[in-house]
Structure formats: structure tokens, C-alpha cells
Structure 1
Amino acid sequence: MTEAHVRRLLEVYDDEHASAATLLCDRHPAEAVAFTVVEADLTGHDLTYGELRERSERFAGALLGLGVGPGDRVATLMGKSAELVVALLAIWRLGAVHVPLFTAFAPPAIALRVTGNGTKVVIADAGQRAKLTPSEDLPADPARRIVVVGDNDGGDGDLSFQDLLTDAAPLPGAAVTGGSGVLVELFTSGTTGTPKAVPIPLRALAGFQAYQDFALDVRADDVFWNAADPGWAYGLYYAIMTPMATGRRSLLLHAGFSAELTWAVLERFGVTNFAAAPTVYRALRNSAAPVPDGLRLRHCSSAGEPLTPDVLDWASSKLGVGVHDHYGQTELGMVVGNAWHPDLRSEVRPGSMGRVLPGFAVEVLREDADVVAEPGERGRVAVDLPASPLVWFRGYRDAPERTAARFSPDGR
């Protein structure tokens, strides 16, 4: 079952005629709900695929008018919102490339990601606009346009997201890039040196959906919420891109994090399938707010850092469901995990990140040689590329030496 499912996913997303906007939006029923956008006051409104198509076609026309074309970089400095999803689909309709900017970034981190790669447009929430003011950290670039979402007192030459959306002529259709076409240029976090630019092709969606199907076990009747930020891989891949790929509704919280608000959303919207970083679970555990009665959680998952046994114990006793730990990287997506799918579930060992997920082959190599380590021996996590059909990473942009350091000499 798993091998056949992996093959089907690759047939869809690694096809030479594949189109991101078609696969993520246009092929789904217009009346189907893509996201329920939840505000800080717990009001929510549904965003359908028909609405997303109509708005993103108009915003694609606006970006085209700003000179954006295939392969051009468009950055977003935005929180989770309907406008973010519209912007992403518009970028991909043009065959352009999305550059995510985490909203906690300071100007130097933003500069690293928008200079040197020809970024033509930065779309920013009004509250983030000040970070784009030219400075020693972020040199001015007259060729780079700034589009602001929300009320803005901002700089000369700023453009209004809403005005562009209202005034632009729609751009029907969607660019065909094929499976190798780049959708996103996401930079690594910098834990192993200066952040590196990772080009993410359309074919990566096969691996992303496999994770949702196998590890998260998101079903058609789930209320799914991945609380991770889309400025990073786990939030972008699995809170935005994969739900759209599968056409299944998920929640999008248009507000900052607090434990109290998280509890309220879980209760009010009847979340059954929840994913977040261990930090979120620890904040919930440490919150003075009581665990709401009547939670409907079926699955809880975690990624981004090690999940400690104390969180597991707390979740089992207070939430009525354990938290399953998963492991991945910006360059891979998720490749190892304690899968929820009934065909893959096994006993969860506290402190373990789980077993290899379908579509990947992962070994622990010795520290000093590219040979498999003995059981119990400390080593290095390595992916066997020929045996991993869902691997999509081929290298960092303009960094051959840093790319070579990620592969064994024989390329395996």
C-alpha cells in the first residue's frame, strides 16, 4: 500500500506538465473550504478554493504589472492570513519563486534573504513594514517594490495589497513548471553555519503529502491545525502547502501565540488533529489555564526539536492522547517519525523520533566513516538517496562547496 501510494504521488507532482496553482487550488471544487481563518477573538471565516482562485488570479495580474515573471523572487514578511495564501498562489501562477521571511527576523536576516537573489517584490504586513526601511543592514534597492497589507503610514512608493487586488485585471490560467520547477527558496535556520538557500521544486509536494497521509494521518473528516509558523519549513510545508495539495480544510490562526488562545482554538473549533513544536506543548503544560473539557483530539504530533518524555507523560494524562515525535530538515521535509497511520503505528519509545517513513531510506552511519553504525553506536543520520524516491534536494543555490559537504563522495 505505501509503495503504491508513493508512486501515485510522484506521478502527480513530478509530471512535466505539472502546475503548482492547478494542483494546490484550481483542481479542487470551488465551493470546498481550503482554510478556516481564525482571529484572536475566536471568530472564524471560511476561505474557499473558488475565492482563492479568483483573488490569486487578480493578484497575479498585479504582480505581472510590477514586472514579476517566471523564476523571479517574491518575498513575504507576513503572518498567517488569507492574504498570505492569496499571495503565494499568485506567485506560483506566474511561475515565480516565493521567499519566506519569518516575522521575528531583524533587518540583517531579511537582507540575507532578499539581496543577491534578485528579489523584485516584498509583500509585508503593515506591522512589519518598518523592518524594510533602508539602513546599513538592509541597503536600498530602487528596483525592489514593497507591497503592504493593512493600514500603512509607510515609505514613499509603497503599494497597497488591497488596492492592487481591487484594481488589477485577473491573469487566467497558471504557469506550467513541471516537477523540477522551483516554487520556494527557503533558507535554512543557520544552526550549522550561515543560512543556505534551498530551492524547493514542485516535486517536493509528493514527499510533503506522504508525510500528511502517513505520519499525521490527516483524514477527510479531521479538523486539522498545524500551529507552526510558515516562515519556516514545518509551517510552510505542512500548514499551508500540503493542506492545499490534498484539498482538505485546515485552520489558520491569524494571531500571535499564547497558551490561552491555543487552548481556546482547540476547544472552540473542535480540533481533532494537531501539530506543533514541543515548545507549544510545554507552554500549554505550564499555562495556568485549565485544560478545557470536551477536547476532541485524535492525534497530536510534534517536530522541530526533541520531544522530551515529560511532555509525553503530561499529554497522555491531560489530553487523553500521546504526542508523536517526527524528524526532518528544510532540505528533506519529514523523513522519520512515530507515524499515526494505523498501518504504520508502533509502540512509541520515549526519546525516540520514530521509524523511517515511506518513500525514504535512512541509516545511522559511523562518525568516522560512511558505513552503517552498529546498534547502540553513536553516529550520523544519513539518507540513502537511490533508495529514497521522495528525496528532492539537489543542492543549495550558488553554493557548490556547501552542497558537496551534504553528500558522500559517491553521491549516495
Structure 2
Amino acid sequence: MTTSITPPTAVEATIERWIATFASPYANVSDLLCDRHDPETVAFTIVEPDLSSCDLTYGELADRSRRLATVLADQGVGRGDRVPVLMGKRPELLVALLAIWRLGAVHVPLFTAFATGAIRMRVEGAGARLVITEPDQRSKVDAIDGLAVLAVGPELDSLVDASTPFSPSVAIGGEGAMVQLYTSGTTGKPKGVVVPVRALAAFSCYLHYGLDVTEDDVFWNAADPGWAYGLYYAILAPMVSGRRNILFNSGFTPESTLAVLTEFGVTNFAGAPTVYRALSKSGLTEQLQIRRASSAGEPLTPDIVAWATHALGTEVRDHYGQTELGMVVANCWHPDAAHPLKEASMGQAIPGFTAGVVNGQIAIDVHNSPLMWFIGYHDDPSKSAERFNNDAHWYLTGDTGHVDTDGYFFFSARDDDVILAAGYRIGPFDVESVLITHRSVVDVAVVGRPDPEGIRGEVIEAFVVLATGEEPSTDLAEELKQLVRQEYSKHAYPRSVHFVETLPKTPSGKLQRYLLRSNHSQH
């Protein structure tokens, strides 16, 4: 008796090939991302605020990163060491990341809007001894005791130029760690997510099937590489796939975004719903002809889909993922994975993942998701256990939703109360930890509410219980806002401060945030 074996589909065969490459015990990050590509091929186009630009080739990346790797090795950086990088979207950022990976070390992303407190937590959590930064950001890391600092500029350039290229690069294998970034929740400190080399298979899959980035595209993922979506899909996935990406070294405005789209002829664009909302409300958008437009970070509202079809020449497709997963559910663009859109749906599970709903939560079937790479948080077994059901068959996202009979997923809410503001995931604990340090504050809670202007997705609101003898005032409210801006991050300060006598809590002391969201009294 013989058993017939069904041959894999073209999509399955492609995924198997990616897994074999990136999960190999001999996998070498710098080779996979850079050295195997034609040195004359452009890896990135760096665009400055005045729209001047420069192309960075794989050959230039290879040479500069090998020399910087020698400098880092002389500083004692080696395999497994965590190296935070605090830098904007400039050429030196890409050189620094590749130099870290050449040594088998681990990149720790730092968002440039972070203040010293948020940076210190991540540096200490990673056990880092050295950080790479730029002059405008240096004061934030100089305040951290015991941390060596390398800042880009003429002095470091001279040191790099004088260094012998580091060779050979360190192969760490598919299970080796290449990135450690942090995700925020409602309680406790942000959790460390270790990204292994084999995750590159999942990132490649999303770039190809989810975003449909082709060799002929002018691709621009506008997300910041200090966060997961920007790091995974504006840096790692384009490099491993040999696809050029635009990095715009400036903050977001509707005017600048439209200028880059037009000036550089972008055909494949990815950004947060905030970007699309701001463009739609700006009144500036002339009819563009973008081949693919994709959205991630928050649920996409139907009005943006309707607007984009006329203004961008294409629909905007909603995609869903997490720091711990990368993108796993999407309205995929590639013809081999695409399905018709359903209003308000974030799509279907992308190739390589099987998704479902478990106890009301969107979940990933670990056993039937060959591209699944997350196994737990760094040095936090209790938080890791919370992410999986009892038999570890399902990864639980903490996001509630439902799936229809056609396999389309619909997002409902976030069980962990993470705030989605302007495409950023903000943990209430981070903001509360700053506000509670103020002498006038004895208790505090932070929640997100829909942005009344319809731009940012959600805005942050703080509910503050004052110490005895302290009086609410406009000046105190402004002082608290500025405290968060200065001590945590400019993107995470509360837009409104509400002074209350008590916070709603359960008998066990657990904060009932849903009651705060329904509280409309304002100071």
C-alpha cells in the first residue's frame, strides 16, 4: 500500500525555502542582510527634510559596518552583548546596526522621542554597557551612570576610517538573538522581546505576500525603526529581500509626506492610520497613483478606505500584528494571497500563520504556524506564560475580536489597555510611573480615548488624585503634562488631565480603566 503525498503549493514551497535559509544553524545576519547582495545595488535612499537625498549601497554599508565593527570589538562588544542605538533615520543608523550584527551582538532599539527615564529602563533591562547615539541625543544617555557612549560625528568617523575591516563576521544561527526590543503593557515594566534570526522568514513573508513589494517598486515604509513595525519592515525585511526602502529623516507632517510621495514617485507605501487620516483632512492631496497602500498600528476606519481610492489611486489595506509576532493577519496584496476586502476587517491570516479566536481573544495556532518565532519574554517566565494557553498550543494576543465563517478577522478591543496613539503603542504604566513622581500626586491612572479630531487614533488622558492640601489648577495640569514630555517621551504626554478624588478599583485593588474611559468630567 502506498501513501500519496500532496506536493506543497508555490506559496508553501517559498515559505519552506525561507525557513531553511533563516533557521539554518549556520545563518549569518550580516551575510543575509548585506554581503550576499550586489555591492552596487542601492539598499536605502535617505531623504532629508529639504528633500535632498543620498543613496546608500550594499557595498558602502558593508565597508563602513566592517570598520565600525572593529571599533566596537575594541570596546569589548562581542557575541550576545546588547547594544542600544539611539539615532534618527540617517545613514549612520544602518551602519551601526550592521556592525552590531557582524559581531554576533544584539541590537536594542531606542526611540528618539524617549527621555532619559525610558532609555535607562531599556538599557538596564538589556544589561547594556555601551550605547551608540548622535549628538542631538547624547545628553539623554550621558545622564546614565556606567554607560559608555559612542556618538556619530567627525571623531568617530576618523576612528572608523582608520580601522581595519572586521572579518569574518560571526554566524549565530537561526536561533541566535539579533534584536531585543521592548513592548509595553498595563502593569509592570515593558517586556523584552528577543527576536531570533529565523524571524527573518516571517518578515520576508509579510513584505512579499502582505505588502507585495516588488523589484520595480519605489517602497516607503514611513514607520520609525525605533519600534517594531519600522524595524521589522523598514529595515530588516527590505534588506534581507534586497528591496530598496526610503528613510525620511524628519518628523511627520501631511505636507512633507505628500512631498516625498510625489518627489520620489513612491509606488508602495506603508504607514499608520494617523498618516492617512492627516492626509485626508489636510486638503492637500492631489490624485496620486500609488500601486499599493497599507496600514498598520491601529484599526483602519472605513472613511479612509473610501478616501484613498480617489486620492491615492488605490484602496488602503488594513494589517494586524504585534511586537511579539510581526504581522500575522492582513488584507494581503500579493495575488497569490489576496482576498476581496470586507469592511472593518483586518483580513485573514497571512501565509505561514494559522489564526483563530480563543476565549474571545485573537490567537495564533503555534503548532500550525511554521513562521511563528516568539517563545517568551526576556527573563520573565511569568509574563511569558500569560501569552500561551495551558498546553502552549495557542499564543494569546490579548486583543479581543472575532472571525467570520470566511476566515476574516475583526478587531474589538485590547485586553491589556495599551494605548494606540498616532501609530505608537503606549503602555499606561510608563506614563503613570512618571506622573506619580510629582510631589502633588498620590495616585494616578492613564487611559486612551478616541481622538476627537480623528487624527491620532487615541489620545492619552490622565486621572490624578492629589495629595491632601493640594488644589487642582490649570498650571498644575500643564506641569504634569510637561513632566511626562521631559521624563518619558514627547509622543506620550496626556492631552487632558482630570483631577479626581479617588480612582475606581475592584476590592482586590485592580484599577477599572473602563470606568475612567466613560468619565467625561474634565479639568
- Say whether the fold is shared (TM-score over 0.5): yes
Deviation at 1:120, TM superposition (A): 2.1
Q: Secondary structure at the match of 1:31?
A: coil
From the CA coordinates, give the structure whose radius of gyration is larger.
2
1:406 aligns with 2:409: no
* Equivalent position of 1:374 in the other structure: none
1:231 aligns with 2:226: yes
* Structure 1 gaps, min length 5: 152-159, 367-378
* Equivalent position of 2:277 in the other structure: 282
Q: Can you list the C-alpha shifts for 1:23-48, whole angstroms capped at 9, x where unaligned?
A: 00000001011011111111111110
| Candidates 278, 282, 285, aligned match of 1:291 | 285
Q: Give the number of equivalent residue pairs.
A: 384
* Equivalent position of 2:455 in the other structure: none
1:98 aligns with 2:117: no
Deviation at 1:388, TM superposition (A): 0.4
Deviation at 1:189, TM superposition (A): 3.2
2-side partners of 1:9 and 1:101: how far apart?
A: 29
* Equivalent position of 2:378 in the other structure: 397
Q: Mark the CA change 1:169 to 1:87 in structure 2 (over 3 Å): closer, same or farther.
A: same
* Equivalent position of 1:372 in the other structure: none
2-side partners of 1:164 and 1:95: how far apart?
A: 21
Q: Which moved more, 1:247-256 or 1:267-276?
A: 247-256
Preserved contact between residue 221 and residue 269 of structure 2 (Cα < 8 Å):
yes
* Equivalent position of 2:334 in the other structure: 341
Question: What amino acid maps onto 1:386 in structure 2?
Answer: H
1-side partners of 2:375 and 2:383: how far apart?
A: 12
* Equivalent position of 2:67 in the other structure: 58
* Equivalent position of 2:256 in the other structure: 261
Q: Secondary structure at the match of 1:408?
A: coil
Q: Can you list the C-alpha shifts for 1:293-316, whole angstroms capped at 9, x where unaligned?
A: 5x3310000101111111111111
2-side partners of 1:164 and 1:409: how far apart?
A: 53
1-side partners of 2:97 and 2:71: how far apart?
A: 13
2-side partners of 1:147 and 1:191: how far apart?
A: 33
**Higher-RCO chain (CA-CA 8 Å, sequence separation at least 6):** 1
1:176 aligns with 2:157: no
Preserved contact between residue 267 and residue 292 of structure 1 (Cα < 8 Å):
no
- Percent identity of equivalent pairs: 55
2-side partners of 1:323 and 1:175: how far apart?
A: 41
Preserved contact between residue 289 and residue 314 of structure 2 (Cα < 8 Å):
no
Preserved contact between residue 186 and residue 198 of structure 1 (Cα < 8 Å):
yes
Q: Can you list the C-alpha shifts for 1:39-59, whole angstroms capped at 9, x where unaligned?
A: 111111111000000000000
Aligned-residue Cα RMSD (Å) equals: 1.3
* Equivalent position of 1:217 in the other structure: 212
Deviation at 1:149, TM superposition (A): 2.2
Deviation at 1:350, TM superposition (A): 2.1
Q: Secondary structure at the match of 2:129?
A: strand
Q: How does 1:107-122 map to 2 (within 5 A)?
A: 107-122=116-131
Q: Secondary structure at the match of 1:115?
A: helix
Q: Secondary structure at the match of 1:320?
A: coil
Q: How does 1:4-403 map to 2 (within 5 A)?
A: 4-134=13-143, 138=144, 140-141=145-146, 144-150=147-153, 160-190=155-185, 193-288=188-283, 290-292=284-286, 295-366=288-359, 379-403=360-384
Q: Can you list the C-alpha shifts for 1:281-339, whole angstroms capped at 9, x where unaligned?
A: 11111224x2245x331000010111111111111121121100000010100000000
Q: Secondary structure at the match of 2:234?
A: helix
* Structure 2 gaps, min length 5: 1-9, 394-523
Question: What amino acid maps onto 1:216 in structure 2?
Answer: L
> Following superposition, which runs of at least 4 residues in structure 1 exceed 6 angstroms of deviation?
none
Deviation at 1:128, TM superposition (A): 1.1
Question: What amino acid maps onto 2:349 in structure 1?
Answer: V
Q: Which moved more, 1:124-133 or 1:64-73?
A: 124-133
Q: Which moved more, 1:351-360 or 1:116-125?
A: 116-125
Q: Can you list the C-alpha shifts for 1:168-201, whole angstroms capped at 9, x where unaligned?
A: 2210221100000100001013356531001100
Q: Can you list the C-alpha shifts for 1:210-255, whole angstroms capped at 9, x where unaligned?
A: 0001010010100000000001000000000110000111111122
Deviation at 1:116, TM superposition (A): 3.8
Preserved contact between residue 87 and residue 112 of structure 2 (Cα < 8 Å):
yes
Question: What amino acid maps onto 1:251 in structure 2?
Answer: I
1-side partners of 2:184 and 2:11: how far apart?
A: 31
Preserved contact between residue 272 and residue 296 of structure 1 (Cα < 8 Å):
yes
Q: Secondary structure at the match of 2:327?
A: strand
Question: What amino acid maps onto 1:54 in structure 2?
Answer: D
* Equivalent position of 2:464 in the other structure: none
Q: Mark the CA change 1:225 to 1:327 in structure 2 (over 3 Å): closer, same or farther.
A: same
* Equivalent position of 1:156 in the other structure: none
